[in-house]
Amino acid sequence: DIQMTQSPSSVSASVGDRVTITCRASQGISSWLAWYQQKPGKAPKLLIYAASSLQSGVPSRFSGSGSGTDFTLTISSLQPEDFATYYCQQANSFPLLTFGGGTKVEIK
Amino acid sequence: EVQLVESGGGLVQPGGSLRLSCAASGFTFSSYSMNWVRQAPGKGLEWVSYISSSSSTIYYADSVKGRFTISRDNAKNSLYLQMNSLRDEDTAVYYCARVESAARTFDYWGQGTLVTVSS
């Protein structure tokens, strides 16, 4: 099974900050990596697919990069509505999709 | 507008059974693979089960294999999860999620239904 490890598990940041979250796969997954945002009490929302493709309707301050085993999600200028938990998800072993442990972005 | 609405959650004793449903609308349900994903209280996301559009291919996470059964009724635009031999660790919010097969992502999710396994 492919394991996904996210770091950090939490990050404190201020509005306007640049935030970077890392996701590492236990084996190469090409570009089969997605990122989701989840707010408390809500379902996850797809942000990024294929490592770097922005889902329709998602603000351009979100971006993704990476391939193989190492990936990043970057929020270029953190907005109040971006405080949430972010999950990566590998899709190399589709349809057996697995998630990282999550990164909580908190207000500093 | 794509909508997925789960129902059937509740409180059940260990060893008991529960059947979850997910009503789909706003898209051609029979053309999409579907999944169940769960989230234990305060924990991360865990994929549970997958069913292809025609029900010909089904997968389960090891944690539920042999206890849970996924199914669908394309005529009723509905997805189901029959959960038997429930354990404390099955306590979670259960989401149904549509699969976008080309990108291999969950592109739409329901609001979730809470299953609590406790005596």
Query: By the 8 A CB rule, do B40 and B91 touch?
Result: yes
Binning pLDDT at 50, 70 and 90, where does residue A108 land?
confident
What pLDDT is attached to residue B79? 98
What pLDDT is attached to residue A12? 96
Task: Test B44 with A43 for CB contact under 8 angstroms.
Answer: no
Segment A24-62, tens digit of pLDDT: 999 999 999 999 999 999 999 999 999 999 999 999 999
Q: Is it the case that residue A19 has pLDDT exceeding 90?
A: yes
Interface mutation vs chain A, best among B6, B22, B45, B59, most A CBs within 10 Å: B45
What pLDDT is attached to residue A38? 98
What pLDDT is attached to residue B77? 98
CA of A94, closest CA in chain B: separation in Å? 7
Binning pLDDT at 50, 70 and 90, where does residue A102 land?
very high
Mean pLDDT for each 10-residue chunk of chain B (119 residues)?
A: 97 98 98 97 96 96 97 98 98 96 92 97
Segment A58-89, tens digit of pLDDT: 999 999 999 999 999 999 999 999 999 999 99
Q: Rounded to whole angstroms, how far apart are CA atoms B22 and A74?
A: 33
Closest CA to B104 of A30, A14, A12, A22: A30
CB atoms within 10 A of CB B54: 11
Task: Test B100 with A101 for CB contact under 8 angstroms.
Answer: no
- Contacting A with CB below 8 Å, chain B residues are 33, 35, 44-47, 50, 52, 57, 59, 95, 99-101, 103-107, 109-112
- Compare all CA atoms of chain A with the CA of B112 and give the residue at the minimum distance: A43
